Amino acid sequence: MANNVNNMLQVECISPEGQKVWNSFIKRIEALPDRGHLTGLFYEADDDGYWIVPEGVHAAEAVGAKWAFADDMADDFLMIESAWAPVIPLAEHIALEIGKVDPTFHMVMTYEDEMPNFVGVATFDHEGLNSDNDIDWDEIKELIINQHEEIAERWDAEEGDWHEGQEEEGEEMMSEVIWETANDWQHANKEWS
């Protein structure tokens, strides 16, 4: 089974003209069958109503993941669950379309694997992807250990494992702070070039 990736696209700056384009994406997503399967944004219906992928378009590559579903959406955000990878190509597509009418457009996308094997934060403007920062599980674990003395006391840095008899408590303590640490890292590593 694929690891799910949670993606949150958040509009930070948008003009009324850009908002119209954003709203058109939201309406198209709401009209998609199958809980908003986002590869459908790149399909076309033939004369008989069957969905086809236009020549030269690979829908999964255009979205950035094998599958992606819209979970929640509004006039300033879009939450997406995807398989294995963040939906950076889809977010860039949206940003470029809005950028055609709005040179002030700014959007931030945070994403995290459910384990988490990785977390990241990407920024987009009228020219598409502006920055993408991510860290993997080893870096997340190192952050947690460095920021929490009570967890660090249970960790054997030389062995790269928990001290004997500290595994269960150490894992439990780490699981209590993992998402807060990941979220704090995302907010601290949002960049604009």
pLDDT at residue 138, as a whole number: 95
pLDDT at residue 1, as a whole number: 44
Where the chain has pLDDT below 50, the residues are 1
Query: CATH number of 4-135: 3.30.56.10, 1.10.3720.10, 3.40.50.300, 3.30.70.1270?
Result: 3.30.70.1270
pLDDT at residue 41, as a whole number: 84
pLDDT at residue 42, as a whole number: 77
pLDDT at residue 50, as a whole number: 63
pLDDT at residue 53, as a whole number: 64
pLDDT at residue 187, as a whole number: 97
Domain range summary for the chain, segments of one domain joined by +: 4-135
pLDDT at residue 133, as a whole number: 98
CA neighbor of 173 nearest in space, from 158, 142, 187, 152: 152
- The span from the CA of 38 to the CA of 30, in Å, is 10
Q: For the full predicted model, state whether its pTM sits above 0.95.
A: no
